[in-house]
Structure 1
Amino acid sequence: MHQNPPPTRTISLIGMPGAGKSTVGVLLAKLSGLDFNDTDLEIQVQAGATLQEIIDSRGHIVLRALEEEILLAVPLTHTVIATGGSVVYSDRIMQRLKQAGPVVYLDVPLSTLEARVAAAPPRGIASDVGYSYADVFRERTPLYRRYADFTVATEGRDPQDVAMEILTRLRGAS
């Protein structure tokens, strides 16, 4: 069922790798009639390599720089953006996203995230060598909370329900 578009130009999804930003983002775009942009895919297309290959060959700082370059250039009009997990390290990006529309943090418990990431191929998590996934989670969570206009807890929920909650909350805020 196609819903009326939310009263916003752009919705940005932030959260850890494995939080469901891409999955929820596609559904949110379909429900709202907005375009969809997965910035991790955009990085891979422009670099001609997977995120993990970029990290392995050029390092996580290069990956973050590519992410910043792309997110400072990508059009932010009538789009749901699934950001990379490290987007919150760039205040410039976050300010641009916040000016374009609401920023939604998909909050997932660490244990669930670890299980999802362990079950998936290497994800190219942009972090210092020697950092565990739990270390990255502890470092990023305060940043996600700081930049989010609102947080949606996704544990045990269907991605469609999460997308509907985001739309409902955006309509209620207008």
Structure 2
Amino acid sequence: MVEDVTKPALILVGPPGSGKSTVGREVARLLGLDFKDLDDDLRAAHGLEAGELVVELGRERFQELEVELLRSVLVSFDGVLALGGGTPTAPGVAELLSGRPVVFLDVDLENLLRREGLVPLHPWLLPNPRAHLRRLLVERRPIYESVAHATVPTSGRAPADVVADVLEALPAAAS
């Protein structure tokens, strides 16, 4: 069976707090599609937030669960999908995303630290969120860029402006 790389219609990647859920919901609404957040599906399936699952299970097992879920979603979901911040770093994910419409929502450290609720949602950031996030951004940016067909900056921008840029990038992401 040949895999349908037109599903989902759009995949958003980026660090935690980059706006994937906010932007994804609005893009989905404007396109008349459903929105799915992979972290929400993980929570529903396992009863814990993504950050708590990482602490509970360890990163390797958590990533195995993420990849299993992602494989399933990629063949069954046609809407707008937001991946967890670390999902693109899991083994095999770059290959799963190849040829699909992926947009990287890029955010700088200062804006990331200003985003409300980030630290409580991600306990592995403690005790020094600034240092951890700086390292995370440096390590993950090349991965996000390598799996995405377009990059949209979100720092200091209104969600509506980011949504407009994502919609504009969509034809480029799908080609």
Aligned identity (percent) is 36
Q: Is 1:85–1:125's contact at 8 Å kept on the other side of the alignment?
A: no
Q: Is 1:13–1:25's contact at 8 Å kept on the other side of the alignment?
A: yes
- Return closer, same or farther for 1:9/1:57 CA change in 2, 3 Å cut-off: closer
Displacement of 1:118 in angstroms is 6.5
Corresponding residue number in structure 1 for 2:10? 11
Displacement of 1:45 in angstroms is 0.7
The RMSD of aligned alpha carbons is 2.6
- Aligned to 1:85, what secondary structure does the other structure show? coil
Q: Distance in 2 between matches of 1:172 and 1:94?
A: 18
Displacement of 1:56 in angstroms is 2.4
- Return closer, same or farther for 1:78/1:115 CA change in 2, 3 Å cut-off: same
Displacement of 1:92 in angstroms is 2.7
- Return closer, same or farther for 1:89/1:134 CA change in 2, 3 Å cut-off: same
Corresponding residue number in structure 2 for 1:83? 83
Mapping 1:34-45, distance limit 5 Å: 34-45=33-44
Q: Distance in 2 between matches of 1:72 and 1:42?
A: 13
Displacement of 1:59 in angstroms is 1.6
Matched AA of 1:70? L
Matched AA of 2:92? R
Q: Distance in 2 between matches of 1:143 and 1:172?
A: 19
Report the TM-score when normalising by structure 2.
0.81
- Aligned to 1:132, what secondary structure does the other structure show? helix
Deviations along 1:67-108, one digit per CA (max 9) or x if unpaired, are 111001113542100000112213532332333x31100011
- Aligned to 1:141, what secondary structure does the other structure show? helix
Corresponding residue number in structure 1 for 2:132? 132
Q: Is 1:87–1:94's contact at 8 Å kept on the other side of the alignment?
A: no
Q: Is 1:29–1:36's contact at 8 Å kept on the other side of the alignment?
A: yes
Corresponding residue number in structure 1 for 2:58? 59
The answer to whether structure 1 residue 149 and structure 2 residue 149 are counterparts is yes
Number of equivalent positions: 164
- Return closer, same or farther for 1:62/1:91 CA change in 2, 3 Å cut-off: closer
